[in-house]
A and B are shown apart, each in its own frame.
Chain A
Amino acid sequence: AQRVTQPEKLLSVFKGAPVELKCNYSYSGSPELFWYVQYSRQRLQLLLRHISRESIKGFTADLNKGETSFHLKKPFAQEEDSAMYYCALTPDSWGKFQFGAGTQVVVTP
């Protein structure tokens, strides 16, 4: 069965410091991976997806198939990055998503 693990429930970083959110997955096939974000009092929304190879709001995520990881990184955290972040995967069939438990990021000035 597919599984997504986000080992950190809470990450507290200072503004300007690098931030890395860990995501590990288990799935026997080739899943597609996503990061979703939920800012305070806003809806859950897509941050980025692996297939797009994009950088959104300074965040990037690298898929490491050997380590089955999809960690999210940003070199310089900003206060507006404070939010709940969810890693998600969907198998190579159609969009039945599996979400991780989420990591709360708090960026302090």
Chain B
Amino acid sequence: DGGITQSPKYLFRKEGQNVTLSCEQNLNHDAMYWYRQDPGQGLRLIYYSQIVNDFQKGDIAEGYSVSREKKESFPLTVTSAQKNPTAFYLCASSIEGRVYNEQFFGPGTRLTVL
């Protein structure tokens, strides 16, 4: 493995605290994505970024924020406004945000809010 790394693997936080999930890639990919994976619901897109300093909301962006200051990095902050933050979070990247390009996924971070 390698290519896309996510840290930490497991994360525990108290309710009301913001938490930032890390996603780094060394594949020189332009586009990066954040998904949330819940049992029985598949993957849902939170945010995506096609180029540095630009990002767009996905289907469930409320309560989340991102930044894309470097091509290699796309951190996700889960804010206290997110009503149900406990989930498995997946980061992905692709060469560029075109229809036919494969998305490569990281190993994921499991966030538990106590």
Contact = CB atoms under 8 A, between A and B. Distances in A.
Interface residues of B, number: 28
Interface string B20-33: 00000000000101
Contact of B105 (A45, A93, A101): A45
Nearest to B4: A43
Interface in A38-53: 43-46, 49, 51
B90 A101 contact: no
Contact of B103 (A51, A92, A97, A101): A97
Interface residues of A, number: 24
B99 A43 contact: no
Contacts of B100: 32, 49, 51
Nearest to B33: A97
Interface string A16-48: 000000000000000010000000000111100
Interface in A81-107: 86, 90-102
Nearest to B92: A44
Interface of B: 1, 31, 33, 35, 40-45, 48, 50, 58, 90, 92, 94, 97-108
Interface of A: 4, 6, 9, 32, 43-46, 49, 51, 86, 90-102
14 contacts: A9-B40, A44-B90, A45-B105, A46-B102, A46-B103, A91-B99, A93-B99, A94-B50, A95-B31, A95-B103, A97-B33, A97-B103, A99-B35, A99-B43
